[in-house]
A and B are shown apart, each in its own frame.
Chain A
């Protein structure tokens, strides 16, 4: 298989693969900002799944440590880290 055929196939396949998802995402519209969603929940939903399956639970006594690690790795702001702490380990 030549390089050009492979590239053409890749370029052609991508829109076909993505088209239904783009349509679906667009049709879903702007109902994204659920008013009941806390800032911590929003930060969690927006950031964790960018790289991995979000964890279902983390023991509260290590949540601070894990979020320091994730703040560095994901380059989160201090405000996002605080929002996640309140969401993942409420008092």
Chain B
């Protein structure tokens, strides 16, 4: 089955019109002024990357289309348009390159009740912290993904099939979230997937703002490997710290990353400047197993990154980072400079 962008746009437009016919927005139906207008959201980003002295220019547009059919059924899809331009002879010559187009996911959700949300279609694999939650360009505080993000998400990063997810239990002190999924093997252009099954579950302790979770995945084709992840996310209430850490292991390798991001909102002087400034360090290590592969490095790899981001507004920021990667065949410096802008555009006229 071959998809092209004209077909996808046509489907999106049809869905939008159908949604409006089926569910004209009614802001007062739940006692609020909230409307259910279709939305085009996403990120404009530009990052200049220098890796071991080779510079690349990477403009990117990431769009998320949200089309509600009622307050219980939502169609959503994310597509990326990424430019990649390098000098013709790596360090000299004119910049040449191309634009890559990619559909990240396309799914329909039925928000059945507080415990069950059924998802069908091509969905992001809920494995670890990164693929589903921290992947969007406007969310990630360091533009390079952790190396271990490749575990449990490759080769395709998505599953084609069904997923059940939701909130299993909630009290004033904690909540337990879960996802369980099955994906069929698929070769649909842009939406290819492997045959696999997996789950993710986490407990969130509300008072300390601490989340502890784990993911498991079993591929049901070829080598039938297991992948596991455990992760922690902590945002202490009185300190502008956002600590995230994850350990991943699969047949091809194991490793971890630790990222304690800090907003300088408590600096006693120059607060007009410092309260917008964020420090984002990350320490990571990957140890290949059984020769590595499946997108993972084949040699021991360690990397330290330190990022500085400046938020002009909650949706517009400058990003920068320096990283040093240590490998057996040599070490490399990695620099990133750029900006990200998140937008939310209603796709249907409605009341102001």
Contacts of A72 in B (CB 8 A): 74, 109, 111, 117, 119, 165
**A65-B302 in contact given A7-B285, A32-B237, A46-B206 (Cβ < 8 Å):** no
Q: In whole angstroms, how far apart are the Cα atoms of A69 and B108 in the complex?
A: 11
**Are A75 and B27 in contact, with the CB atoms below 8 A?**
no
**Are A68 and B66 in contact, with the CB atoms below 8 A?**
yes
Q: Mark A62-73, 1 if CB is under 8 A from B, else 0.
A: 111111110111
Q: Which candidate, B45-53, B130-138, B184-192, is the interface stretch facing chain A? A: B130-138
Contacts of A91 in B (CB 8 A): 28, 31-33
**Are A63 and B209 in contact, with the CB atoms below 8 A?**
no
Q: For window 50-81 of chain A, which residues contact chain B by CB distance below 8 Å?
A: 50-56, 58-69, 71-80
Q: In whole angstroms, how far apart are the Cα atoms of A17 and B282 in the complex?
A: 12
Contacting residue for B350 out of A30, A61, A78, CB 8 A = A61
Nearest Cβ distance between residue A23 and chain B, in whole angstroms? 9
**Are A85 and B346 in contact, with the CB atoms below 8 A?**
no
**Are B177 and A73 in contact, with the CB atoms below 8 A?**
no
**Are A73 and B133 in contact, with the CB atoms below 8 A?**
yes
Q: Determine if B344 is an interface residue (Cβ-Cβ < 8 Å).
A: yes
**A54-B314 in contact given A72-B109, A91-B32 (Cβ < 8 Å):** yes
**Are A58 and B207 in contact, with the CB atoms below 8 A?**
no
Q: In whole angstroms, how far apart are the Cα atoms of A85 and B35 in the complex?
A: 10
Nearest Cβ distance between residue B270 and chain A, in whole angstroms? 20
**Are B39 and A25 in contact, with the CB atoms below 8 A?**
no
**Are B326 and A1 in contact, with the CB atoms below 8 A?**
yes
Interface residues of B (CB under 8 A from A): 25, 27-28, 30-39, 41, 64, 66, 68, 71, 74, 76, 109, 111, 113-115, 117, 119, 132-134, 136, 138-139, 165-167, 170, 175, 177-179, 204, 206-209, 211, 233, 235-239, 241-243, 256, 258, 260, 283, 285, 287, 300, 302, 311, 313-315, 326, 344, 346, 350-352
Top 5 closest pairs, chain A to chain B, by CB: A61-B35, A28-B238, A25-B236, A89-B34, A75-B177
